[in-house]
């Protein structure tokens, strides 16, 4: 194994160890607080239902306010007391949270509520975001190397360079669209109940790190999900980010090359126009028009020469007229 493969292996191992440790620490810091908050919310709901017949408008308003506060904290008091066993900070949810944090997506549906969790989140993101950028860069380089290998394989078949570039980019684009944008919406349709268009919308908004938060996987209250569902989605997001980042780089490079080519064409057109103008001037100087008078090498210049020629012509006309009159 060469040094490059060793470095890549160490980077991948370090990155995923960092994610796993962060998930475990967030789980330890937030689980107890979230469980206590959930218990208090369900007790509030039970008390409200017991007093349902003699509630005042102020009681209803207070209950709605408390309920809104609980939902903002990520607690959805639906169903019966069996929902108390649900935990927003199990390992799968924690792993999904750290993945969305380091990728700077930040859905906002799950966030640390304790002081310790918030401080750790700052430190974790401070070191984790640069590590995530290094990871994405390395994955992008690996994908580029695969494209280069494909290009060399096509080159050995005797294809032209332009055709090789087009085919490799097309293969890279279509494969990425299929893996990261085409197939995941099918999974989201079966697990989340979204339409295929909603799944594509969520996939692109997520991988482009826009992250509106209007669609989030594994966040529907009262719905059962596989224990490692969100963790697998987090891994899909991390590799999808590398693909779409490389795709954006290729598009930027294509636009820059197009802009450069247009600028060169405009420069060539301008240069050709100037050369045509010079050639036209040379032709006009070499072939003067009949009305154009050429300057003499005298101090008086062309205007003096013109008037002298005109006076000479007038004198010749007068002499000719005088001779004719004498003969007659």
pLDDT tens for residues 244-253? 888 877 778 7
More confident call, 283 vs 274:
274
Nearest CA among 196, 194, 230, 228 for reference residue 214: 194
b/e burial code for range 280-315 (CB count within 10 A of at least 16 → b) = eeeeeeeeeeeeeeeeeeeeeeeeeeeeeeeeeeee
Whether residue 310 has pLDDT greater than 70: no
Whether residue 305 has pLDDT greater than 80: no
- The pLDDT-based confidence of 81 (bands split at 50, 70, 90) is low
pLDDT of residue 287: 59
CA distance 45 to 48: 5
What is the percent of the chain with per-residue pLDDT over 90, rounded to a whole number?
33
pLDDT tens for residues 53-71? 888 889 889 888 988 888 8
pLDDT of residue 17: 97
Neighbours of 103 (CB within 10 A): 22
- The pLDDT-based confidence of 160 (bands split at 50, 70, 90) is confident
Q: Supply the mean pLDDT for the chain.
A: 82
pLDDT of residue 27: 96
Whether residue 254 has pLDDT greater than 60: yes
Most confident of 148-162, 170-184, 264-278, 290-304: 170-184
Please report the DSSP string for 245-304 in residue order.
HHHHHHHHHHHHHHHHHHHHHHHHHHHHHHHHHHHHHHHHHHS--TTPPPPPSSSSHHHH
Whether residue 325 has pLDDT greater than 50: no
pLDDT of residue 314: 54
Hunting for tokens 């992250």 — which residue is that?
Answer: 211
**Are the beta carbons of 304 and 298 closer than 8 angstroms?**
yes
């Amino acid at each position: 194994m060469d040094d490059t493969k060793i470095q890549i292996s160490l980077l991948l191992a370090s990155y995923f160890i960092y994610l796993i440790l962060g998930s475990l620490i967030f789980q330890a810091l937030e689980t107890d607080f979230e469980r206590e908050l959930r218990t208090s919310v369900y007790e509030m709901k039970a008390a409200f239902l017991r007093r349902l017949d003699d509630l005042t408008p102020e009681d209803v308003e207070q209950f709605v306010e408390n309920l809104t506060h609980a939902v903002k904290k990520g607690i959805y008091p639906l169903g019966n007391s069996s929902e108390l066993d649900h935990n927003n900070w199990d390992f799968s949810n924690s792993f999904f949270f750290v993945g969305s944090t380091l990728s700077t997506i930040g859905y906002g549906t799950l966030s640390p509520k304790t002081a310790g969790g918030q401080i750790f989140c700052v430190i974790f993101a401070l070191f984790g975001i640069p590590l995530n950028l290094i990871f994405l860069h390395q994955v992008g380089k690996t994908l580029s190397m695969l494209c280069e290998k494909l290009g060399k394989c096509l080159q050995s078949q005797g294809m032209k360079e332009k055709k090789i570039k087009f085919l490799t980019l097309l293969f890279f684009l279509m494969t990425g669209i299929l893996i990261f944008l085409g197939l995941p919406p099918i999974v989201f349709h079966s697990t989340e109940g979204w339409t295929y268009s909603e799944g594509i919308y969520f996939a692109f908004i997520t991988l482009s790190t826009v992250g509106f938060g209007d669609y989030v996987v594994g966040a529907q209250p009262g719905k059962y999900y596989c224990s490692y569902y969100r963790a697998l989605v987090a891994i899909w997001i991390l590799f999808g980010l590398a693909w779409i980042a490389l795709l954006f780089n290729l598009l930027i490079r294509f636009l820059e090359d197009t802009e450069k080519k247009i600028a060169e064409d405009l420069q060539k057109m301008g240069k050709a126009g100037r050369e045509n103008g010079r050639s036209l001037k040379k032709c006009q100087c070499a072939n003067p028009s009949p009305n154009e008078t050429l300057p003499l090498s005298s101090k008086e210049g062309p205007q003096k020469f013109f008037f002298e020629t005109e006076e000479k012509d007038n004198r010749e006309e007068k002499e000719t007229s005088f001779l004719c009159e004498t003969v007659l």
